[in-house]
Structure 1
Amino acid sequence: MKNKILILVAILALSSCQNKDNSKNIVKTIVQDTLSKTLGGTADLSEVSEKNNKQVELIKKQLLVLLKKDLPAMTKEDRSFYYEAFDLNNDKKDEYFVGFSNSYFCGSGGCSGYILNNDGSVINRFSVTDFPILVTTDSSEKFYNLLMKSGGAFHLMKMKNGKYPSNPSVQEKWKGEVPKETTSVLDIQGKQLEKYSF
């Protein structure tokens, strides 16, 4: 009888230890989930949405001006865009990468898009680009160099006379591995960026 009681006590002790480990795992999982959402930018931050709304409205207004001649030929689906903010010149003000993923702006060579200043003015229009765009840590004229994929290869895009080249496919091909220090922007499929209408 003593042996049966000792076995029962041992089983209870082991199961209570396992329950403690499970509660630690649950807490650990919640903490990791919260951290990943915060670091990944998917946490619900009400202040950010107000800033994003101002950025979206600025981009919408600019697209309506830039594409004024195209609007009559565009369908409702064509009139949508994705964007991502990034400070390209370390002036503490974001520039905006604006991209499209529909048949009006995309063809077999890639898609078109814009890089806008924080005031909405155009830095660049680009074509035949596959997303995402990679921002390197090297710079030219105080703006980070970009790697844009076109025709299955990355091409180096350097700022020259205040503009990046508009057609990546005719620029110097990037040789070797993509540097680990690059930042990916306009990863339309991977980051599941929000789509906006204009």
Structure 2
Amino acid sequence: MTKQILTLVLLLSLTFISCKKETTESQNKTNTTTVTKDTLSAKLKDSIVDPDPTDTIPAGKYGINSSNLETANIVRLTLQNIYKDDLSKNVIDDYSKRFIFFEYDLNDDGKKEILVGLTGPYFCGSGGCTQYILDNQGAIITKFTVANYPVVIDTDKSSGWKNLFIQSGHKNRIVKFDGKKYPSNPSLQPELKVTPGDDLPRALNFTNEPYAWFKF
């Protein structure tokens, strides 16, 4: 009888030790997983480059279509080439050397065009500012003058390209592609008599959305 009791006690002890070991291993595995996830999360957070460190907007809060650094560099090189003479003569003030952009496929060919907005006294007057539409390689499709922000992108098309609603001279204008480009002066285009729908994409909408400002 005593031998049986000793055997039972031994079995219970072994079972207890085994369960404790499994619990400890499980806890260690959970702790390791948590540490790994936290570490990866921290590394991912640190890896996000802030496209505009001059403002208070967190790096991850910018729109995906308005903060790509490769696109910013394409726009920068294009603007530097366009205005190289005035840049070399220091005609353009520092404030006017800033730009924003918005990538959007305007003709549904699978490639995003780049809408570019400029600012400052060199590019803006009472009627609006200078804007550009570039292809994805930086070639100029259209240069707009006296154009205000934002640019509303319509669902209707002309010559395969989406119509744009651009405010110019305090009125919304309907700007249509003519087969080669959009007309450069929106103020000469037909007035849009209604307010563009809230469901339509708004490009260069920096007054209502977090946009990164770049310099060229």
TM-score normalised by L of structure 1: 0.72
- Stretches of structure 1 that go unaligned for 5 or more consecutive residues are 1-41
Q: Secondary structure at the residue paired with 2:95?
A: coil
**Equivalence for 1:44:** 60
What CA deviation, in whole Å up to 9, does each residue of 1:80-130 have, x standing for no partner? Answer: 111111111111111111101211111111111100000110010001111
Sort the Cα spacing of 1:177 and 1:52 in 2 relative to 1 into closer, same or farther, 3 A: closer
- Stretches of structure 2 that go unaligned for 5 or more consecutive residues are 1-57
**Equivalence for 1:179:** 197
Q: 2 CA distance for matches of 1:141 and 1:111?
A: 26
Q: 1 CA distance for matches of 2:207 and 2:174?
A: 22
Which structure 2 residues correspond to residues 126-141 of structure 1 after superposition, within 5 A?
Answer: 126-141=144-159
Larger radius of gyration: 2
Q: Secondary structure at the residue paired with 1:58?
A: helix
Q: 1 CA distance for matches of 2:198 and 2:209?
A: 18
Whether 2:131 is the aligned partner of 1:117: answer: no
Find 1:62's aligned residue among 62, 78, 84.
78
**Equivalence for 1:9:** none
**Equivalence for 1:96:** 114
Contact 1:81–1:98 (Cα < 8 Å) also in 2: yes
- The alignment covers a number of residue pairs equal to 154
* Fraction of identical pairs, as percent: 33
Find 1:87's aligned residue among 105, 108, 113.
105
Which structure 2 residues correspond to residues 11-30 of structure 1 after superposition, within 5 A?
Answer: none
Contact 2:127–2:170 (Cα < 8 Å) also in 1: no
**Equivalence for 1:144:** 162
What CA deviation, in whole Å up to 9, does each residue of 1:132-156 have, x standing for no partner? Answer: 0000000011110000001111100
Q: 1 CA distance for matches of 2:143 and 2:154?
A: 19
**CA positional deviation for 1:43:** 8.2
Q: Secondary structure at the residue paired with 2:110?
A: coil
AA partner of residue 53 (structure 1): L
Q: Secondary structure at the residue paired with 1:65?
A: helix
Sort the Cα spacing of 1:181 and 1:139 in 2 relative to 1 into closer, same or farther, 3 A: farther
Contact 1:136–1:181 (Cα < 8 Å) also in 2: no
Contact 2:95–2:119 (Cα < 8 Å) also in 1: no
TM-score normalised by L of structure 2: 0.67
**CA positional deviation for 1:70:** 2.5
Q: 1 CA distance for matches of 2:135 and 2:146?
A: 21
AA partner of residue 78 (structure 1): S
Sort the Cα spacing of 1:137 and 1:68 in 2 relative to 1 into closer, same or farther, 3 A: same
Q: 2 CA distance for matches of 1:119 and 1:183?
A: 22
Q: 2 CA distance for matches of 1:154 and 1:127?
A: 14
Contact 1:124–1:163 (Cα < 8 Å) also in 2: yes
Aligned CA-pair RMSD:
2.0
Contact 1:99–1:113 (Cα < 8 Å) also in 2: yes
